[in-house]
Amino acid sequence: MRIGELARRTGVSERSLRYYETQGLLSSDRTPGGHRDYPERAVDRVIRIQELYAAGLHSEKIRQLLPCMRDGDGGPSAIATPRLVADLTAERDRIDRMIADLIRSRDTLDEVIEAAREA
């Protein structure tokens, strides 16, 4: 599929999709004229990438991580090195703390919203 459709289906801008490519996160075939052509499984991959970005991982970590992930069609094509596992474990713990923080903030908002609803 073309970049426009991929953008529409993932909710990620064309700009970002091209950026992902420069970062080695996303590859594409090219038409004879040079237009990008993506396989169906690019949709899942882009969504994963977007989620990982949202989780605060940087391009480089995502790039290292991607080959170790279970892909849409089949198992992972690589196993994380001990070094990478250590990094990812740290990221995991950071994400855990982030989730806890977000829950507290959500509770705070709920409290204020509820107080206003009761008034």
Partner DNA sequence: CTTGAATCTGACACCAGTGTCAGGTTCTAG
Partner DNA sequence: CTAGAACCTGACACTGGTGTCAGATTCAAG
In the chain, the amino acid numbered 76 is: P
Other Cβ atoms closer than 10 A to 46:
22
Residues contacting 98, CB < 8 A, separation 6+:
55, 56
Nearer to a copy of itself, 2 or 48 (CB): 48
In the complex, the smallest distance separating the C-beta of residue 40 from a copy of itself, rounded to whole angstroms, is 20
End-to-end alpha carbon distance in the chain: 52
16 is an interface residue for DNA by CB under 7 A? yes
CB of 14 to DNA, least distance (A): 6
| Beta strand ranges found along the chain (DSSP E) | 29-30, 36-37
Residue 89 in contact with DNA, rule: CB under 7 A:
no
Residues 48, 41: Cα–Cα separation, whole Å: 11
How many chain residues are in contact with a copy of itself, going by CB under 8 A? 41
Helix (H) or strand (E) holding 94: helix 82-118
112 binds a copy of itself (CB under 8 A): yes
Interface residues with DNA (CB under 7 A) are: 2-5, 12-16, 18-20, 23, 28, 31-36, 50, 53, 58-59
List residues binding a copy of itself (CB under 8 A): 48, 51-52, 54-55, 57, 65, 68-70, 76, 79-82, 84-85, 88-89, 91-92, 95-96, 98-99, 101-106, 108-113, 115-117, 119
